[in-house]
Amino acid sequence: MIEIREAGAEAMAQIDRVPIRFPVESVLAVKPVNGGLGGLLLTEERVGRPYVKDYDSCEGEGAVRWAKRFDTSHWGFFLAFDGTDLVGAATVAFRSPGVWMLDGRTDAAVLWDLRVHPDRRREGIGGQLLERVAAWARQRHCRQLKIETQNINVAACRFYASHGCHLGAVVRHAYQEPQVAHEVMLLWYLDL
Show the low-confidence residues of the chain (pLDDT under 70). Answer: 59-60
Over the stretch 64-119, which tens digit does the pLDDT of each residue have? Answer: 788 888 999 999 999 999 999 999 999 999 999 889 999 999 999 999 999 999 99
Q: Domain total for the chain?
A: 1
CATH number of the domain residue 99 falls in: 3.40.630.30
This prediction's pTM? 0.93
Which amino acid type is present at position 7?
Answer: A
Domain of residue 32 covers 2-191
